[in-house]
Each structure stands twice: as C-alpha cells, then as structure tokens.
Structure 1
Amino acid sequence: MRDAASGHGSGYDAELQRHDRVLRRACGVRPGDRVLDIGCGTGRTTRQAARAARAGSALGVDVSAPAIERARELATGEGLGNVSFEHADAQSHRFPPDRFDLAMSRFGTMFFADPVAAFANIGRALRPAGRLVMMVWQSPERNEWDVAIRRALGDAARRAPTGPDAFSLADPPAVERILEAAGFSGIAFADVHEPVYYGPDAAAALDWVRGFTCTSEALNRLDPAGSARAVGRLREMLTAHQRDDGVWFDSRAWIVTAHRDRAS
C-alpha cells in the first residue's frame, strides 16, 4: 500500500474506482443515516455517503492531517452541508456513544495496532444493532498487484515480520474472532473481484507504484545500481499490464459486514 494509513489522494481514488461501486452497494446508505467513515483519506467515500444520507450526516476520520484538510476543501467545494471531517485515530478517538447507524471503511481498518480495541471503540460509537461495512484485502497471493510488484523488486521486497500490514484482515476466521471479541455479531464475508487502476500508462503507473511503502523501502535497501535494475523491472512489468484504457491489475478483497450486539 502507499502508506501506513492508506493511499491518500486522487490517484488512490482512481485506483479503487471499481471498488467504490461495490462498497456503496454493500453499505446501502439510507436518507436518514448517520455514517462514520473510518480511514476516509481525502473523503471521497465520506462525500458519497453524505449525498446518500441527505437527511442524515457523514463524518470522516483519518490519521493524516493533510488528507483531512483536503477532504474539507473538497466537501466545501461541492457544497455539502451534512459532512464533516476529523483528524483522529479511530482506534482511540472518543466518539459520541450510540451515535452512528453505519460505520464504513474502504481499506482503512487494516493498520490498527490493537484491532480488538479499535473495533470495540468503533462499536461503542454505533447505536445498538448499528452496522459495520468494511472492505479489506484478501491474502497477498490472491492480489496480482502485490505479487507482480514484489516479483519485480526481487529479494529486497521480502515483507518485514513487523510493521503495517495491508493484509492483516485477510483471513476470515481471524477477522471473525477479532470482531466477536470487540462486540460484533452477524459477521459475513463477500468476495470482491475487481481490478485496480494504476494510471493511464506505464510511466504514470511507475510513479504511483514507487510511492508504495513496500516499493520505496525495497528500493532504499538496494545500492544505486541494484535500485536502477529493480526500477527497470518494474517498468517492464507495468508496461506488460498496460491496456488501451490504462494499467490494470487483478485484485481480490472482502466486504466484511457485521452489526453491534444489542447487549454490548
């Protein structure tokens, strides 16, 4: 992924354009809903939720202050009066209790240091029986973009055993245990098989991929000559994935749905 919280910016929204449609359908935001968007980045999904919740509201939170500043600018430019944003860590932020009908997230929940505590905190912000709908990556071997990038980077791309992991919520039984411990029930998983978009051509895709944490860290571990060779392999790989409508990679994700236990 692009950074530890998520890949913020217009490029990230473009990358996940197919996933957005799937998430919107899964969320099914109703006109009067009060929505909490976890790891909202620059607020695209929050603004979409606010437009659907025209008699309700949407709050987006993210750990990136620049992303939140940009989210506010975009919402103001679109004239949305029922959306707000907070620079906050959903793992520990003191949300109003029993406030939201829906907590949603587009790849914004995989980096919690203590996922049980984080989801319990989010659950307390939901009204009893309130819904959680989040999109997370499936395992790395099921995501062509991860396999191809790491193959091009070679040995330098070996994943560190610690640190942020974009695939930390890939295993359904593990996620079910986390959510149950956090006070959720009715947990279900739906397969999402949509491609990711990396740019209009290989040059733009290379700029995008070089900003990924896994890429930049791998290149920094190499000497200048080795780094140049790895970049060349990345360029060749991205060129091989270029189509008439841009550079695309296969990907697999889960839509995870659950609801807060009434007794929690």
Structure 2
Amino acid sequence: MAAPTPTANHAQTAAWDGAEGAYWAANHDIFEAVLERYQPAFDRAAAIRPQHRVLDIGCGTGASTRAAATIAHRGHATGVDLSSRMIDVARGLAAREGLRNISFERADAQLHPFEPGHDVVISQTGAMFFDDPEAAFANLARSLRPAGRMILLTWQSADQQEWLDAFTLALTGRTPPQPPAGAPGPFSLSDPARVTALLERASFTAVELTAVRETTTYGRTVEQAHTFLRGLLGWMLADQEPARRAASLDALRATLATHATADGVRFESAAWLITATRS
C-alpha cells in the first residue's frame, strides 16, 4: 500500500479533503462557472505554449488544468489539490474530454517534492490557503525551470467583492467583517505589497499585479443559485431561530433575483492577476 501523501496545513486539509471538498465536487459545474469570465485574461497572462509543462496548484475539479492541457497539446498539464473527491471528479472530466496530456494528484503544494523543470505554474484562487506561504512559494519556485513563470488569480480585498457583501448581508443582516490580515483564506493574497515581498523572498522576480474585474456566476437560475448558496453558506444560519432562518433565506432569494440575467445570476468581483518569473 502506498504511503499517505504528507500534508502540512492540517486545518485546510480537513476542510478540503472533507465536507467542503465534497460539496465542491458535487457542485463542480457551478463552481467552475464562477470564474469562467476570468479565463480569457488568465490565459493571456499565462502565455502557455504547445510544448509547455504546466503545474496547476489548487486545481479543484480541473477547469484550469484542462484549459492548460488543451493549449499545451504537445506538453503536459498536472493538477494538484488537497481534495481527493475533487481530484476524482477532475480525472473523470478530463477523460470525458479525451485529454491525454493531463494528470491529477492529491498533494500539498507546500511540501510536495514536485519534479523540477516546469515551464509554468498556474493557480486560479487556489494559492490563498497556504498556512506557510513562504515555504509554499519557495517550493513552487523549485518546481520551475530557471526563468519559468508563475501566474496566479487571487481575490482583491473583501470590500471589493459585491458577492460577499450581498450574500452576507442577506443571510446575517450585517456586512462581512474584515478577515485577519494574512490568515489563510480567500483574501490572504489581496495586499500587493505583501504579495510582492512574499514572492521576491521565494526567488521570484518581475512580480506584477494587474487589477481585473469581472462578474462571477452562481447558477443558471435564481432557484439553482439559491439551493447552491444555501448549501455553501448554511453555516451563516446556524445560530438563527427557524423564523429568522426562513426570513434570511427569503432575503437571499430576493437578492439573487435582482442579479438574475439571461446568462445566469451574476455579481461583481475584483481580482489580481499576479505574474512572476523564477530567478
């Protein structure tokens, strides 16, 4: 029997290889659609070539890995994630698309001994959950060839996200609190100065952050979005009495209805496209 894959971040491992990862795997089509409007800008920044070897960090169910493999058709794309269930879904989706130059592995990017010599490391909202980003980015630098490139998509600060304000206000009646600076989570890489310092200490140069704004999609219809978010954010309702909980869910449905379009239920968002080169 193979030895278990070592992990460093036990809290994130418990979440992503547990109930949270299972929910993402079960709702992969909606989760993958959330970021789909960022994909063109991300592809341009990544500048993947047909012969490239690409490493995708926090790949989830593999949308960005599949996109990379399609471009790098003479090379190879490897996706890694902490979630066993999401990796299983990613393998199935890649097989369904007939992609042969692609592989997936459950691994902790902070310490996994990646094969060196990759041309490009990519991550779409997957690099913000390291509990030791110094070690993680140093490890990713070692996975790259000299002058290899890293491209990250990370969220800008919480106060720039319409979706976060709207969902939290509807379900709790309050605006969301500011997350602790630098703590593992969606906004840990939102400060450009911190990001630049982290990457430069990890042997990256030419670090650039480009602001991008797109709408994010949470379902094709109001009812689909409501069901999806009720499952995803149900923890916000845990302490509410039944009548209050029902009112909160009604408020969420009303909020979603005001953002329904012919292309799905959409909210404004703001992200950073981060590019860096291994020295």
TM-score (norm 2): 0.86
Once residues 76 and 242 of structure 1 are traced to their aligned partners in structure 2, the CA distance between those partners, rounded to angstroms, is: 33
Of 78, 82, 89, the residue aligned with 2:97 is: 78
1:210–1:216 contact (8 Å) kept in structure 2: yes
- Does 1:239 pair with 2:257? yes
In the alignment, does 2:277 pair up with 1:259? yes
Please state whether the residue corresponding to 2:214 is helix, strand or coil.
coil
Partner of 2:56: 37
The amino acid of 1:46's aligned partner reads: T
- Deviating more after overlay: 119-128 vs 145-154: 145-154
What corresponds to 2:230 in structure 1?
210
Q: What is the CA distance between 1:156 and its match in structure 2? A: 9.3
**2:120 aligned residue:** 102
What displacement does 1:244 show?
A: 3.0
Counterpart mapping for 1:116-135 below 5 A: 116-135=134-153
Between stretches 148-157 and 245-254, larger displacement belongs to 148-157
Question: What amino acid is aligned across from residue 166 of structure 1 in structure 2?
Answer: P
- Once the two structures are superposed, residues 128-163 of structure 1 have per-residue CA deviations (whole angstroms, 9 ceiling, x without a partner) of 111000100011111110111111122496567597
The residue aligned with 2:196 is 176
Pair 1:165 & 2:185 matched: yes
Q: Is the contact between residue 157 and residue 218 of structure 1 (CA under 8 Å) also seen in structure 2? A: no
Residue pair 1:75, 1:83 contacting (<8 A) in 2 also: yes
Answer yes or no: is 1:67 the counterpart of 2:86.
yes
Paired residues in the alignment total: 256
SS of residue in 2 equivalent to 1:166: coil
Cα deviation code 1:195-238 (max 9, x no counterpart): 001112211111222233xx222111323222222111111111
Distance 1:127 1:211 in 2: 42
Q: Report the counterpart of residue 113 of structure 1 in structure 2.
A: 131
Deviations 1:15-49 (A, max 9, x none): 21101122111111101110000111111111111
Unaligned runs of 5+ in 2: 1-14
% identical aligned pairs: 44
Question: Would the aligned equivalents of 1:156 and 1:222 in 2 still touch at CA under 8 Å?
Answer: no
Letter in 2 for 1:16: L
CA offsets per residue over residues 46-97 of structure 1, 9 Å max, x none?
Answer: 1111111111111000111011111111222222111111011111111113
Please list the CA deviations of residues 99-152 of structure 1 after superposition, one character each: whole Å capped at 9, or x if unmatched: 200000111101110111111111110111110001000111111101111111
Q: Structure 2 counterpart of 1:211, which letter?
A: G
Which residue is equivalent to 1:23?
A: 42
- Contact 2:165/2:175 (<8 A) preserved: no
Matching residue of 2:266: 248
Distance 2:164 2:184 in 1: 15
**How large is the Cα RMSD of the aligned pairs?**
2.0
Gaps of 5+ in 1: none
Show structure 1 runs of 4+ deviating over 4 A. Answer: 3-8, 155-164
The CA distance in 2 between the partners of 1:156 and 1:255, in whole Å, is 26
